[in-house]
Structure 1
Amino acid sequence: MSKRDYYEVLGLGKDASQDDIKKAYRQMARKFHPDVNKAADAEQKFKEAKEAYDVLSDDQKKAQYDRFGHVDPNQGMGGGFNGGNADFGGFGDLFDMFFGGGGGQRRNPNAPQRGNDLQYTLTIEFKEAVFGKELDIQIPRTETCETCHGNGAKPGTKPETCTVCHGSGQQEVVQNTAFGRIVNRRVCSACNGQGVTIKDKCGTCHGSGKVKKQRTIHLNIPAGVDEGAQLRVSGEGEAGSRGGPSGDLFVVIRVKPHDFFERENDDIYCEIPLTFAQAALGDEIEIPTLTEKVKLKIPAGTQTDTYFRLKGKGVPRLRGYGQGDQHVKVVVVTPTNLSEEQREHLREFARQSGEHTHEQHQSIFERMKKAILGD
């Protein structure tokens, strides 16, 4: 199935700014977060939005996507050229075939090899992302076998140099043809390219030199971390081979939405209802923040959708000093289930204010008529 346009996924036009892209992604992340939305396609939509954001939030990737779309512009360039890392497919073998191995450098099968990196997705609460947290996670990974210390051989024995490839990890087949002497190299079938063979295998790892284990990793989640952030834990990935270093562990952060607060970068947003009387006459109300309740003065005549700022009541800045702000949006709530006495008071208020009078309606009607029909 073909991929959807990244701008379409986020509901944006191609002229969208980086702020628009980030805001749209956050809205979709909150809507389709698997911990909140239990629909069958929620996780897929969450991943689709994350993929779109990863590309469009990166200026270089965005420029390439805007020009080429989902098509890789490097395809069809002779073996998959990819931004300076060339994979020339079988050219090394061709040099070996026609020039007797003079065209490339042989890989040492006994050289140390770095272990693979691991990725772990960690879901945390909204306030844990704001204030940080220390916790332990369990990671399944391969580790060096403690019985054989990674060489794969039974204790008291050791691997032996392969008698077929003599430790090179490659077999050579020499042919004399009308074009000259041809040397063809392939992975040694006796040692599978390892350069060594094991006669008596370790009973713990069965000759692989590695075992699967559950590893406990202690994490320190910094205050201010946000959705999609990656924490790198050096050396906690898969074990290396032949004395090579371990890979790294990358912890991808997912943040659960909050019932009351919403986050935009280091700022916090919330919505507070006001009664008609509070908005008209003014009041002092209590506002919940991330740490406490504070007093907020509402001026008389405040209109619905007015924003008030609580300076320094937002999220601690992950890279820097201080905190963001909290923005409070007030919404005037229309009263319902009024008693007859309350209705009469409102009618009296309307009469004294000159609202909803016959003359006013007539005046509005006349102005509309003139606007439509002309003088």
Structure 2
Amino acid sequence: MADDPYATLGVSRNASDEDIRRAFRKLAKEYHPDISKGNEERFRKVSSAYEILGDADKRRAFDRGEIDARGEPRHPGFRQYARNGARAGAGAGAGAAGFEEFGFGDIFSDIFGGMGRGGAAGGPRSNFSAKGQDVRYTLEVDFLEAAAGATKRVTLPSGGMLDLNVPAGVTDGQVLRLKGKGQRGVGAAEGGDALIEVRVRPHPLFKREDDDILIDVPITIDEAVLGAKVEVPTISGRVQLSIPKGTSSGRVFRLKGKGVKAAGRSEPGDQLVTVRIVLPDNIDDTLAYFFSEWRQKNHYDPGRK
């Protein structure tokens, strides 16, 4: 005697069509031979039960006692259901046409993401497998983290956590690929990849040009005239920069090796320091008188050099 299809699917007799479909999806995914070896018989029973309960006419006929759990008529003269040479209830060895006939096509398309449908061993796709889909994420990092490298913890949509090594010198918009960290594959196929697009936050002082770091540094008028040593920030700490006497605003100084050392590069870039002469907010009488006297004695015009 065939099993009660309601008991096989684990649903009540007043279950809705959606409840039945949902129960079959869950069990078919769990016991499908391409995913779970050794469960062919269980899969056959689940498929046979859904053949009855997944068809509104057959379900009503079963509930009225007109057909049994195999779909066979209980009373003489009851109409036979066309099989076209294939029954989904024949089990995991049923042909692909049988799956389509009884509505299994859409079910398996949903379960396996539209990648294909498989039968049991020896069926038309007994070794069905498909690589998992890639997943994409966006990760924001600070400017200095991108320059020096960092380890960042990424929270996946599933709630899982992933420690990601951000390599030194990563650029804005660069995509990091993590093999096998995407969606799981079907069957024996490998998982997809996780593609992490890096977004680098701007820095209030530094700008990047290839592997070089650019920065503007303010100096006073007396430092420009008399020369001085000024402290300059770099991505690896502060250093002393010698300003020679008579330095004009806009002059660029190069700090060798103080730029970004990107992965795969033998040498780091440089830091380019542009000095800007900044006058005091308050020009007092002493400073004004000095330059007034100086201007009368020195007719200097840089535009006519």
TM-score by length of 1: 0.45
Is residue 314 of structure 1 aligned with residue 259 of structure 2?
A: yes
Please give the residue correspondences for 1:352-371 in structure 2 after superposition, counting only pairs within 5 Å: 352-354=297-299
What's the offset of the Cα at 1:108?
Answer: 6.7
Is residue 130 of structure 1 aligned with residue 75 of structure 2?
A: no
Of residues 159, 162, 168, the one that matches 1:223 is 168
What's the offset of the Cα at 1:238?
Answer: 0.9
* Structure 1, gaps ≥5 residues long: 1-106, 141-212, 357-363, 365-375
Identity across aligned pairs (percent)? Answer: 36
Q: How far apart are the structure 2 equivalents of 1:273 and 1:224? A: 27
Please give the residue correspondences for 1:28-47 in structure 2 after superposition, counting only pairs within 5 Å: none
Greater share of residues in strand? 1
What's the offset of the Cα at 1:266?
Answer: 0.8
What's the offset of the Cα at 1:242?
Answer: 3.1
CA distance 1:221–1:345, shift in 2 (3 Å): same
What's the offset of the Cα at 1:317?
Answer: 2.1
CA deviations over 1:253-281 (Å, ceiling 9, x no partner): 00111111111111100001122221122
Is residue 339 of structure 1 aligned with residue 284 of structure 2?
A: yes
CA deviations over 1:91-115 (Å, ceiling 9, x no partner): xxxxxxxxxxxxxxxx774420111
Q: Which amino acid aligns with 1:134?
A: T
| 3-state SS, counterpart of residue 133 of structure 2 | coil
Of residues 182, 196, 215, the one that matches 1:270 is 215
Q: How far apart are the structure 1 equivalents of 2:281 and 2:145? A: 39
TM-score by length of 2: 0.55
- Correspondence for 1:117: 134
Q: Which amino acid aligns with 1:127?
A: L
What's the offset of the Cα at 1:307?
Answer: 0.5
Q: How far apart are the structure 1 equivalents of 2:230 and 2:283? A: 24
Q: How far apart are the structure 2 equivalents of 1:301 and 1:240? A: 68
Q: How far apart are the structure 1 equivalents of 2:255 and 2:198? A: 27
- Correspondence for 2:200: 255
Of residues 178, 200, 225, the one that matches 1:280 is 225
CA deviations over 1:174-193 (Å, ceiling 9, x no partner): xxxxxxxxxxxxxxxxxxxx
| 3-state SS, counterpart of residue 235 of structure 1 | coil
CA distance 1:355–1:113, shift in 2 (3 Å): closer
Please give the residue correspondences for 1:74-85 in structure 2 after superposition, counting only pairs within 5 Å: none
| 3-state SS, counterpart of residue 129 of structure 1 | helix
CA deviations over 1:180-222 (Å, ceiling 9, x no partner): xxxxxxxxxxxxxxxxxxxxxxxxxxxxxxxxx3222121111
Q: Which amino acid aligns with 2:285?
A: E
Task: Point out 4+ residue stretches in structure 1 off by more than 6 angstroms.
Answer: none
What's the offset of the Cα at 1:355?
Answer: 5.5
Q: How far apart are the structure 2 equivalents of 1:250 and 1:280? A: 54
Q: How far apart are the structure 1 equivalents of 2:249 and 2:149? A: 35
Q: How far apart are the structure 2 equivalents of 1:316 and 1:275? A: 32
